[in-house]
Structure 1
């Protein structure tokens, strides 16, 4: 099913010519701002359109730009709305303390191991005490390996018969990162005492 989605999306974009290339870039940006399509689908479509390495570069640059712009808009224009949305999560204040002490490290690690959804990191960091510089640098460093992983997974889904061994290894790494993320989420937020309502 995922292969069909990647193939279907890439076929549509390629049929649009140059406009489709621009649309593929914008989808990578918009997916970070409004996550309505799994990123691996968008990443795979862009890899098919642009090629593996250029597709990865497009995915990476647009995802970073999307994350940073979401952070800046939320921080400067939608702080009240975001704070209201986040106030029901008891662990946020605990994460705020960690971001204030070492924002770069926690943003970078949160990008590599999915402690929180990427979109949630963008919004939460915007109303916390993390410095803009730490957010931008942490995002650039942390997103690099994850975007590369998702671009490779998208690529290998389309070439399953040639790369099935590597695809299974990549999916295993992805699952392990999710499991590690869940462990760190409990460790960082002490979820036993701070349950999400």
Structure 2
């Protein structure tokens, strides 16, 4: 990752983004959801540099959420097929699924707020759990919002950020504020979804 995340590489990717247009800014974060070894932080920062803070953030956010949710839906639909027992049958995965079912969406939201969390694993475990599809979409939208907005703000003007201690401090404070907002969202979602999960466990599963 360190060899990717340099000012020169960010500026080069940003220049290429402007050449190809907004579609590439949407597509690369989408693909990263399937190929987590790709540097999402580079794509997010390049989007912000190429298209402006808010439009670049929107492209990164929508692309990343869409890719993650497609993985979740694929796992929800095909994950329990006998051919995928090498994934679903492992004790480690079963424990993770049980942990998610017991704790609801709150832990998933927290994990998705961090930029270096292996979100593909979170998407797979969520797809195999009993979390309702619409609630996981809300979790993705909220968690990715916090994570990608933070990266976009930090990378919007990378040169100025790295050469200005004042801006670096302001960026750090912004991350704290975003984390606080995320905790408020987490509490509301958790209180709302926990009731739904308890009711779902009492009913036969239809999906």
TM-score by length of 1: 0.72
**Mapping 1:42-121, distance limit 5 Å:** 42-80=43-81, 83-85=85-87, 87-88=89-90, 90=92, 92-113=93-114, 116-121=117-122
Determine the C-alpha separation between the residues in 1 that align with 2:141 and 2:56: 17
Assess, with a 3 A threshold, how the Cα gap between structure 1 residues 36 and 161 changes in structure 2: closer, same or farther. Answer: closer
Task: Give 1:106 deviation, angstroms.
Answer: 2.5
Distance 1:7 1:85, change over 3 A: farther
Instruction: Check 1:84–1:43 CA distance in 2 against 1; reply closer, same or farther (3 A cut).
Output: same
The gaps in structure 1 that reach 5 residues or longer are 178-197
Structure 2: gaps spanning 5 or more residues? 180-207
Query: Displacement, 1:165?
Result: 3.9
Q: CA separation of 1:12/1:148 partners in 2, compared to 1, >3 Å: closer, same or farther? A: same
Measured in 2, the distance between the counterparts of 1:161 and 1:127 equals: 42
Cα 1:26–1:167 shift into 2, 3 Å: farther
- 1:9 to 2:13 alignment: yes
Cα distance, 1:111 vs structure 2: 1.1
Structural RMSD (CA): 3.0
| CA distance, structure 2, for counterparts of residue 145 and residue 82 of structure 1 | 32
The Cα shift of 1:122 comes to: 0.8
Go from structure 1 to structure 2 and tell me whether the alpha carbon gap of 1:164 and 1:123 turns closer, same or farther (over 3 Å shift).
farther
Please identify runs of 4+ aligned residues in structure 1 that moved more than 6 A: none
* TM-score (structure 2 length as normaliser): 0.69
Which one has the largest radius of gyration?
A: 2
- State the 1:153 CA deviation: 2.5
Q: For residue 69 of structure 1, report the CA deviation from its aligned partner.
A: 0.9
Single out whichever of 75-84 and 140-149 deviates more from structure 2: 75-84
Change (3 A) 1:168 1:28: farther
